């Protein structure tokens, strides 16, 4: 996922996750409260803009360029993406996501190395419909010198945003968020391990703290977490049309 950007070094990743972007800031790596995940509500706008420009848009543009070359003329492609807002990353009852809070708690108590939080990347970007338009425009702009590239034949037919509910069918007053929490962990555990280089012991510590922070971030009586997804239909025209 990082192949779309030139900032693959540890320092580059720290720059993406830094809460306050200051090039001359010598506290980078020391103040853990300054680190966020890409989708956090606490991320400042300049950091969100950086993620969009250097990772999210180029990544989706590259994906669409590859798919356009695979599609036959007249074929359609349905792409479903996680979108903003999503309570897994922006809970109504908490300023930070439960994963970020759990990781910071583990660092504070010594059960997680600080560098795991500093360099770990959760490779999801909460897109809005306009982000899809921007990515397609970027993909076509990148191939302006190649008017025959199939990306110029790709057009958006429809974009719709759907709200979803994640959780258990039946709630439990003892552990009402179990279903939603287990799904969240199943999706994001791999990123914590592969992108953050967390050990098995560290992963277990994070998982244990998730129980506490899920109950604080959501309403255990409902057992549900609201999410949003974008469904986008692309169609490949019979011939390229370069502006």
CATH classification of the domain holding 9:
3.40.50
Work out the end-to-end distance of the chain between its first and last CA atoms, rounded to an integer number of angstroms. Answer: 29
Q: Has residue 241 been placed in a domain?
A: no
* Assessment of whether the complete model's pTM goes beyond 0.85: no
Residue range 90-138, pLDDT digits in tens? 998 888 899 999 999 999 999 999 888 877 777 778 999 999 999 999 9
pLDDT cut 70: percent of the chain above it: 79
Q: Has residue 54 been placed in a domain?
A: yes
Residue range 43-60, pLDDT digits in tens? 777 778 888 988 899 999
Rounded Cα distance, 138 and 59, in Å? 10
Q: Has residue 171 been placed in a domain?
A: yes
Both tokens of residue 5? 């950007």
Q: Quote the domain boundaries for residue 63.
A: 2-236
In 16-111, DSSP assigns E strands to 76-82
Q: Has residue 183 been placed in a domain?
A: yes
**Who wins on pLDDT, 142 or 30?**
142
């Amino acid at each position: 996922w990082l192949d779309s950007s030139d900032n693959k070094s540890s320092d580059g990743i720290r720059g993406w996750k830094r809460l306050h972007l200051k090039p001359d800031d010598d506290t980078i790596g020391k103040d853990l409260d300054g680190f966020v995940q890409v989708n956090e509500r606490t991320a400042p706008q300049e950091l969100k803009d950086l993620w969009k420009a250097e990772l999210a848009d180029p990544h989706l543009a590259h994906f669409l360029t590859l798919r356009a070359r695979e599609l036959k003329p007249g074929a359609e492609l349905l792409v479903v993406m996680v979108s903003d807002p999503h309570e897994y990353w922006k809970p109504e009852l908490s300023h930070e996501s439960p994963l970020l809070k759990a990781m910071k708690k583990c660092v504070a108590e010594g059960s997680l190395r600080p560098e795991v939080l500093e360099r770990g990347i959760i490779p999801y970007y909460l897109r809005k419909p306009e982000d899809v338009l921007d990515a397609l425009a970027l993909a076509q702009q990148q191939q302006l010198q190649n008017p025959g590239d199939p990306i110029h034949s790709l057009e958006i037919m429809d974009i719709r945003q759907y709200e979803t509910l994640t959780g258990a069918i039946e709630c439990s007053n003892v552990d009402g968020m179990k279903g939603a929490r287990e799904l969240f962990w199943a999706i994001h555990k791999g990123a914590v391990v592969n992108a953050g280089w967390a050990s098995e012991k560290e992963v277990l510590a994070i998982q244990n703290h998730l129980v506490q922070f899920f109950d604080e971030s959501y309403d255990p009586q409902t057992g549900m977490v609201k999410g949003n997804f974008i469904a986008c239909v692309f169609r490949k025209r019979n011939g390229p049309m370069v502006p």
